[in-house]
Amino acid sequence: MSDGSSFYITTPIFYVNDVPHIGHAYTEVAADVLARWHRQAGDDTWFLTGTDEHGQKILRTATANGVTPKEWADRLVESAWQPLLKTIDISNDDFIRTTDERHEVNVQLFLQRLFDAGYIYTGEYEGYYCVGCEEYKADSDLVDGTGEYEGQKVCAIHSKPVELLKERNYFFKMSEFSQRLLDLYEENPNFIQPESVRNEIVSFVRRGLTDLSISRQTFDWGVKVPWDESHVVYVWFDALLNYITAAGYGYDDEAFASRWPATHIVGKDIARFHAVIWPAMLMAAGLEVPKQVFGHGWLLVGGEKMSKSKLTGIAPNQITDTFGSDAFRYYFMRAINFGQDGSFSWEDLSARYQAELANGFGNLASRVIAMVTRYFDGVIPDAGVLDAPDQAIRDTEVRVTAAADAAISRLAIHEAIAQVWQLVDELNGYITLQEPWALSKDPANRERLGTVLNTAVRGIGTLAVLLSPVLPVATSKLWTALNGAGAVSDQPIRSAFDWAGGTTVSALEPLFPRIETSETDGSAA
């Protein structure tokens, strides 16, 4: 229903120690498709993304490059992270940097409130820290190093040695929230999704939580602890707060009240921070917990989690330069069940581009428009009496619209696209069976030809509306060719089948041009 309900969606804020790869772009696209869908449904949508700029990881990278951490962050944000959003057509409403004043000031406000409420104390931290994860590690998180790290304990994720910390720090009384968190997970089973991530987190919290060290004293790249400026706030404690500092916490109560709580889309690596530490922080501050934390799966390359440090990183524009941003968005949202791991391969991308986008959708649209141009001089014919196959197409339009919307509300993006694609396939089958080119040969079939092409035009218009969140570029070209009213991205998506078009069609440029690929590796030539 277009009830104008509020939909606030976020991605993680990404570390600026390096440039983005397709894993980051994957999260951005998923959140973007959901945001565009809700916006098009008339929901009061707010989509936030941004960058995580404090902490030792950034400090060390900047130092190694001979610049200050702020200079480094500015450089990476301007040259890499902001441009990424353009490369893949991200429609974010806001971009927060943890070095923004609105963020730093209100991190301090939040921390002071927790301190005043008695949730923070000083203590001695002794244990291991992985700068790659920016996380304190339990012994069970470590494995024996190999090669140059033989004989040392290394982080299981980064395969690099952890550092032994012994510092006097401030601690957050997280252990007090174990039961309240378990109650939350039980009362709201959707709070953490998918199920596999939820199960892992529930059993982690059942083992009991320890208090969390939330400040560091040995370096100064971070937000200063307001009552003790010799400490900076632990980078995760600082970073998680972006979701409320961007929404107005501490300086715009009205915006904050209308936006918060959010749906957080994150990779499963960081679901625990979002579903344990973050709600505990919010509970301590007397604020609402997030609506949902969704931990999606890994993009795998050659069977391994794709990552820059393991040199399997692929830059998003390596794909978009050849296939375009729509194909990037479509491929990752369609080929991978959202929530599960999925392997990227150039062969699969090329094959789907050709079969589904170029032959399936693109050809359908261009054939229908070409036939209206050829047989009716570009004037969209009226429908006469509907036969069963015509009615079946109309029924499919209504059915897939509802089914796709239901799938989106479960964040099952792949399923929403698969539903809509039933209409692509049925329309292709319909045209093959109805043979408008044969009908056109006999003037006695003029009305029937009109009904068939009217049905087909209505169908591709419905597709334009439904696919606009995934394929914003192609659907907007198609909408222009259909002389649809306004922008396709403004068409109410929950009644996509009721779209209002013009009376004529105009020329349509190829939506998914042919791409030559090399036969040996499937990659673009």
173 has catalytic annotation:
no
- Give me the residues paired with residue 97 across strands: 51
166 has catalytic annotation:
no
Q: How far apart are alpha carbons 235 and 103 in whole angstroms?
A: 13
Q: How far apart are alpha carbons 329 and 28 in whole angstroms?
A: 10
Our finding on whether 393 is near ligand ME8 (CB under 6 A) is no
Binding to ligand ME8 in span 246-275, by CB under 6 A: 266-267, 269-270
DSSP helix, strand, coil percent of the chain (3-state; round to 5): 50, 15, 30
- The H or E element containing residue 240 is helix 235-240
Phi-psi category of 386—alpha, beta or left, where left has phi over 0 and alpha has psi -120 to 50? beta
List 103, 158, 264, 296, catalytic entry: 158
Instruction: Tell the burial category of 65 from Cβ atoms under 10 Å away from its Cβ (0-12, 13-18, 19+).
Output: exposed
Shortest distance in whole angstroms from residue 65 CB to ligand ME8 = 18
Which CB atom, from 26 or from 353, has the smaller least distance to ligand ME8? 26
x-or-dash pattern for ligand ME8, window 284-313, by CB under 6 A?
--------------xx-----xxx------
Please choose, out of 66-74, 239-247, 314-322, 394-402, the segment that lies near ligand ME8 by the rule CB under 6 A: 239-247
57 has catalytic annotation:
no
With contact defined as beta carbons under 8 Å apart, do 413 and 338 qualify? yes
Our finding on whether 24 is near ligand ME8 (CB under 6 A) is yes
List 57, 130, 296, 477, catalytic entry: 130
Which CB atom, from 302 or from 513, has the smaller least distance to ligand ME8? 302
Please choose, out of 11-19, 39-47, 185-193, 417-425, the segment that lies near ligand ME8 by the rule CB under 6 A: 11-19
Q: How far apart are alpha carbons 40 and 489 in whole angstroms?
A: 6
Question: Beta strand 292-296 with 263-267: parallel, antiparallel or unpaired?
Answer: parallel
Question: Beta strand 6-15 with 44-52: parallel, antiparallel or unpaired?
Answer: parallel
Which CB atom, from 240 or from 335, has the smaller least distance to ligand ME8? 240
Q: How far apart are alpha carbons 16 and 53 in whole angstroms?
A: 6
Which CB atom, from 263 or from 366, has the smaller least distance to ligand ME8? 263
With contact defined as beta carbons under 8 Å apart, do 234 and 240 qualify? no
The alpha carbon torsion through 122, 124, 128, 132 (nearest 10 deg) reads 30
Residue whose C-alpha is closest to residue 422's, from 407, 436, 408, 401: 401
Please choose, out of 22-30, 103-111, 351-359, 425-433, the segment that lies near ligand ME8 by the rule CB under 6 A: 22-30
Residues in the chain: 525
Cα R_g (the chain), whole angstroms: 26
Which CB atom, from 80 or from 473, has the smaller least distance to ligand ME8? 80
Our finding on whether 431 is near ligand ME8 (CB under 6 A) is no
158 has catalytic annotation:
yes
103 has catalytic annotation:
no
24 has catalytic annotation:
yes
305 has catalytic annotation:
yes
Our finding on whether 160 is near ligand ME8 (CB under 6 A) is no
Binding-site member from 7, 8, 9, 15 for ligand ME8 (CB under 6 A): 15
414 has catalytic annotation:
no
Which CB atom, from 173 or from 305, has the smaller least distance to ligand ME8? 305
Residues near ligand ME8 (CB under 6 A) are: 12-15, 23-24, 26-27, 52, 239-240, 242, 266-267, 269-270, 298-299, 305-307
Which residues are the active-site residues? 21, 24, 130, 133, 155, 158, 305, 308
